[in-house]
Structure 1
Amino acid sequence: MTHATHSDGSGIDPVTTEIIRCALLQAAEDMNTTLIRSSYTPTIYEAKDCAVALMDRDHNVLGQSSGLPIFLGNLEECTRATERMYGPGVWQPGDVWVLNDSYIGGTHLNDVTVYAPIHVEGELVGFAASRAHWIDMGSKDPGGSMDSTTIYQEGLRMGPLKIYEAGEPCTLTHDLIARQVRFPQPTLGDMRAQVACARTGARRLAEIVRRWGMDTLLAARDAIFEQTERLERAQIAAIPDGVYEATGHLDNDGIDLGTPLHVTVKVTIDGDRMTMDVTDCAEQATGPVNCGAAQTVAACRVGYKLLVSGEVPLNGGSFKPLDVLTRPGTMLAAVEPAACQYYYSHLGLLIDLVVKALAPAVPDRAAAASYGDSMIVQFTGLDPRTGKLFVSQEATVGGWGAWESGDGESCLINNVNGSLRDMPVEVLETLFPVRVEEYAVRSGSGGQGRTRGGDGVVRQYRFTADQDLSLWWERSVTPAWGLFGGEEGAPPRVTLNPGRDDERSLLKANALPVREGDVLRCESGGGGGFGPVGHDTP
């Protein structure tokens, strides 16, 4: 079935436009469901460390599912980079590609993007892409290193590479990947789950094209993009013109533990346009807190979405009024051979800083800072129950900042990770040699204010076998600040063997040996408060 429409894309009725909009969004959700249900590792099927996007043939997002916000408008950079390298003729039916280069996609090597062109009757109509965390990329330590100093220590790095050609697997590429990682079977299983995700997207988009026709789809796309851009420009125009600025600091780079690293964002509002300038930040760090510029752009987009048209689904019309300025050679626009394993620590800080900078201009939309970081806990070793190597890596939830109309949320994943879930205790204890002795709200950790910040959590583990412990906990130098007189939240705290003679306090560690019976107590930070206590207005 087709609908008549003008060749210039005008004249499409709003009902058809809305039906197609919903169909595209549902196609992305179907892709996400396929990936999660087909994956082999709990990082994806339990924690949901993934995101998907459906794009048109010009690499604009048609639909993106719930997932990690840090990938907002970022997956298309992989297809764009491939086309820049090999030309538009590179896209052939049945091909599937893979890419994880930190300087192209912007993330660490564990975040692998799998993408495929979509053809209908021989014509390229779009792309389907997903990004998911693979549990090991062959880095110098299983799962990933907290003390890497170059990209070459972080594992297999792939530029655009075919893994399927004309619908058939590229067995040599599959073998190459399998030989570089410590868990070949589940890694290739997750890769094939991403391939299934891409094929689901291809089927769904082809169904839409065949039902409505390509002209109608393009007309609906243009209308959707125009609506989104118009809404965003109107919201920016309502913000007073001016230059707004905020600065914060990472604790350190994991190598030089005594040197905080600054991040400054300068936001300029000029009519219906917004510019975020992050050129004033620390130089490229020795430790793994760097990222490619593409991820910095994505983080700025998250901060933007928190304040501008957050209720509008992401599409190719999003971010048209936004410019992001980076400077090559900084930790927000790293170049080879910078280490990038913990690329998201400064991005979570950056997102909060965007909101802090604009808070004086939009106090009704701004929230105080959240606990901020993923707060990674990683266990690796040989499981005595199976004799096999294991890697358990999980993010820890914490408190979010308060805002004008309510308290901050408690025990919620940080704003970098969005739909990511913390690992269920039952799954953790079943799959790995650890026992969770306590999982509770860290009462009182949220900052006080007219509305108070959300609380963090306490998560205490007992090791049931000898293994190695790695930690990446952040935001003690710049804890979750309050706004308009609200107090800051409590900083994070991690203690190994609390109350024993060998008690240690630590926030970062790499492959630290722990023994059976040792205890790890993790306390995540709270969010900042909003407004002074006892006052009705900020």
Structure 2
Amino acid sequence: MSETASRPRAEIDPMTLRVLGGAFGSIAKEMAQVIFRTAFFQIIREAEDLGAGLFTADGQEIAESETTAMHCGSIGSYLRGIIEIHGDDIHDGDVFLHNDPFHGASHMADVCIAIPIFWDGRLVAWAADTAHLADLGSASAGLCTDAFDTYAEGRNYQALKIEARGVPNEELMRHVFGNVRTPELNRGDIEALYTASQLGARRFRGLLEKYGADVVLGAAHAWMDHCERLLRAEIAKVPDGDYAAPVQWMDDDAKHRDHPLNVNVTVRKRGSDITVDLTGSHPEVETAVNSPLEGSTKIAAYFIIRTIFLDQATHDAFIPNNEGMFRPVHVEAPEGSLFNPRFPRATYARFCACQIAADSVLLALADALPEQVCAGTGAEVHVIAFSGIDEASRRYWVYVQVNESSWGGRFGKDGMDSIGCLMENIRNNPIEEEEMSFPVRVERYELRDEGPAPGRWRGGLGVVRATRFLGEGWVTSEAERQLDRPKGIFGGHDGRTASTTVTRADGSEVSLPSKFTTFKLEPGDRIEFRTACGGGYGPALERDPQLVARDVRDELLTAADARRDYGVVLDPATLELDAAATARERAAAGAVLG
């Protein structure tokens, strides 16, 4: 048992608890601000693909930055991995570099800097953060979707002490930066993480000096208990039962085409506990789409359950995120399966499986919580790595682009268009920077024009993004949803699948799968991505005709779409609603459906 867990908890008055709870959250947010304002790699400083926070001595989350959802809860598993490896060999002044997915990391590219916080000679807490580095020296630049095993994914920094008792290990860092394609970017990003963790440790020591260890640690545990009670109270409102989602399918494993991977999800609710059971999902594969249990699979379950039951938009009280949110949530994934792979399986592209699993939890709970879930989402991260070699310097350039997807329709509202869905929560990168920094031109970046999935509340629209290469380079893709359409619910239509097309400089076209590694592009070649569109919620004939007319005027639908899918008739000249004709059309359509 850890020092923190074994200590008696001090009684904390409500005012002090709120003050310290706010202080914990502010420290975590300040750490995140430091990272994305000082990091070098675009996916960190623009997209905010990072996480930061404070943790107890045994790795329980006190507070976190609430940035990218995949990092909401994952850092604690990194710390438990570090503790497992080092045991009692953790000292004041140590700084750890860690990214081993079989010791808690979310995947190899998400590197963690962790600093133990000592007080009166005892380890009492940790300040730690993580972010996605540009390159880890893997078999391909930027991303690695078809790696055969974990060794092909790049450098494994298994709980390395980059400082020991305050003494930096310069030789180790020379090795770390000397074996990647992007040493300058990696150095800048690791320094940003280091600075943020040092800041978090200083701020936490300031609290210890002001309030004392017993009060601060007591408040940390009381804050966790508070969050646990909030979540358990909401879970308890749902009738006990087993709620199964329809089987969903990943396109493939990035190597064996025409072999989709099944994702089976059953949500079991008992009392105030909830279990996400992934039994029956596809076995582990010989590529990188496996999802490590501790650092990714469990985090997907934690995130989606908290999102459904404690949406901050629908609760008046402030709801922090900490270890208390994880305690009522349990995950079952058989060892050797896609969601609990065995060493040495690769896990670099694990986001694909996690997104489908989270989407399936929404679908599983639709009947039980119709006003708290949405229809099927894009359920992908659609992350693309562009890379090449600069002719003058003979150095690699690497750019990682995240293309937004969409949400499904939800009770009372349409699905959100062109936005990171589910666990992604990543901002897009500015086109201007992409074109200034790399030999590419973005020729198209807009909402898909095929029309959203019909429903009482329509599905969201994904994007179409076309990029032309000005020089020679390579593309690697970690995307999804080219096979299985986002599900409509309660009579809503299914959404649209994604696609990837390369148009060569000579005008010939090549259709590509969603996941591939180092596809060669020549100068003048153009690659176009279309991301998935979310499903509809409720029967399309129940949609407010005025909303349908608005969608037509906004050019999301044609007048023919409106009549065919919604039974809505518009004046061909003005595109205003013809109420009488619409009533007749809907009555006829209803009779046919009946």
Q: Distance in 2 between matches of 1:290 and 1:342?
A: 7
Structure holding more helix per residue: 2
Structure 1 counterpart of 2:434, one-letter code: L
1:64 aligns with 2:70: no
Q: Distance in 1 between matches of 2:502 and 2:392?
A: 24
Cα-to-partner distance string for 1:271-300 (whole Å, 9 max, x where unaligned)? 111111112211111221112111111111
Contact (CA 8 Å) 1:403, 1:451: kept in 2 or not? yes
1:484 aligns with 2:490: yes
Partner of 1:305: 306
Cα-to-partner distance string for 1:220-242 (whole Å, 9 max, x where unaligned)? 22322222111111111100111
Partner of 1:244: 243
Deviation at 1:43, TM superposition (A): 2.2
Q: Distance in 1 between matches of 2:274 and 2:393?
A: 55
Partner of 2:229: 230
User: More relative contact order in 1 or in 2 (CA 8 Å, sep 6+)?
Assistant: 1
Change (3 A) 1:521 1:266: same
Cα-to-partner distance string for 1:219-276 (whole Å, 9 max, x where unaligned)? 3223222221111111111001110111211010011011010111111111111111
Change (3 A) 1:384 1:426: farther
Cα-to-partner distance string for 1:347-370 (whole Å, 9 max, x where unaligned)? 000000011101110111011121
Range with greater deviation from structure 2 (137-146 or 331-340): 137-146
Partner of 1:431: 437
1:203 aligns with 2:219: no
Cα-to-partner distance string for 1:80-107 (whole Å, 9 max, x where unaligned)? 12222332x3221111101111222243
Range with greater deviation from structure 2 (521-530 or 381-390): 381-390
Q: Distance in 1 between matches of 2:122 and 2:360?
A: 44
Q: Distance in 1 between matches of 2:383 and 2:57?
A: 37
Contact (CA 8 Å) 1:446, 1:525: kept in 2 or not? no
Change (3 A) 1:61 1:489: same
Deviation at 1:428, TM superposition (A): 0.5
Change (3 A) 1:490 1:445: farther
1:102 aligns with 2:70: no
Structure 2 counterpart of 1:272, one-letter code: S
Cα-to-partner distance string for 1:166-201 (whole Å, 9 max, x where unaligned)? 223111211221232122232122112111111011
Partner of 2:283: 283
Change (3 A) 1:387 1:181: closer
Structure 2 counterpart of 1:531, one-letter code: G
Q: Distance in 2 between matches of 1:445 and 1:24?
A: 45
Contact (CA 8 Å) 1:471, 1:510: kept in 2 or not? yes
Structure 2 counterpart of 1:151, one-letter code: T
Partner of 2:142: 143
Deviation at 1:58, TM superposition (A): 3.1
Partner of 2:589: none
Correspondence for 2:446 among 440, 446, 453:
440
Deviation at 1:386, TM superposition (A): 5.4
Q: Distance in 2 between matches of 1:108 and 1:516?
A: 33
Alignment: residue pair count: 529
Change (3 A) 1:216 1:108: closer
Contact (CA 8 Å) 1:137, 1:144: kept in 2 or not? no
3-state SS of the aligned residue for 1:374? coil
Q: CA RMSD in A?
A: 1.8
Change (3 A) 1:468 1:19: same
Partner of 1:4: none
3-state SS of the aligned residue for 2:163? strand
Q: Distance in 2 between matches of 1:159 and 1:63?
A: 24
Contact (CA 8 Å) 1:151, 1:340: kept in 2 or not? yes
Contact (CA 8 Å) 1:106, 1:293: kept in 2 or not? no
Q: Distance in 1 between matches of 2:370 and 2:19?
A: 36
Structure 2 counterpart of 1:45, one-letter code: R
3-state SS of the aligned residue for 2:542? coil
Cα-to-partner distance string for 1:372-402 (whole Å, 9 max, x where unaligned)? 1111222111234755310111111011111
Correspondence for 1:494 among 467, 492, 500:
500
Structure 2 counterpart of 1:215, one-letter code: D
Partner of 2:395: 388
Q: Distance in 1 between matches of 2:497 and 2:188?
A: 39
Change (3 A) 1:475 1:202: same
Q: Distance in 1 between matches of 2:522 and 2:367?
A: 51
Partner of 1:535: 542
Contact (CA 8 Å) 1:379, 1:467: kept in 2 or not? yes
Change (3 A) 1:445 1:197: farther
The correspondence of residues 93-492 of structure 1 with structure 2, limited to 5 A, is 93-246=92-245, 247-294=247-294, 295-311=296-312, 312-384=319-391, 387-418=394-425, 420-492=426-498
Q: Distance in 2 between matches of 1:111 and 1:305?
A: 23
Deviation at 1:151, TM superposition (A): 1.5
Contact (CA 8 Å) 2:143, 2:478: kept in 1 or not? no
Structure 1 counterpart of 2:308, one-letter code: L
Range with greater deviation from structure 2 (183-192 or 499-508): 499-508
Structure 1 counterpart of 2:499, one-letter code: R
Q: Distance in 2 between matches of 1:493 and 1:310?
A: 32
Cα-to-partner distance string for 1:95-122 (whole Å, 9 max, x where unaligned)? 1101111222243311111111012343
Q: Distance in 1 between matches of 2:277 and 2:530?
A: 34
Cα-to-partner distance string for 1:118-137 (whole Å, 9 max, x where unaligned)? 12343322101111111111
Aligned residues with identical type, % of pairs: 30
Deviation at 1:498, TM superposition (A): 7.7
Structure 2 counterpart of 1:63, one-letter code: A
Deviation at 1:433, TM superposition (A): 0.4
3-state SS of the aligned residue for 2:320? coil
The correspondence of residues 490-529 of structure 1 with structure 2, limited to 5 A, is 490-497=496-503, 501-507=507-513, 508-529=515-536
- TM-score, normalised with respect to structure 2: 0.86
Contact (CA 8 Å) 2:143, 2:477: kept in 1 or not? no
Structure 2 counterpart of 1:293, one-letter code: L
Structure 1 counterpart of 2:150, one-letter code: I
Q: Distance in 2 between matches of 1:446 and 1:387?
A: 45
Deviation at 1:424, TM superposition (A): 0.7
Contact (CA 8 Å) 1:448, 1:486: kept in 2 or not? yes
In structure 2, list runs of 5 or more residues that go unmatched. 1-6, 313-318, 545-594
Range with greater deviation from structure 2 (182-191 or 336-345): 182-191
Q: Distance in 1 between matches of 2:10 and 2:233?
A: 22
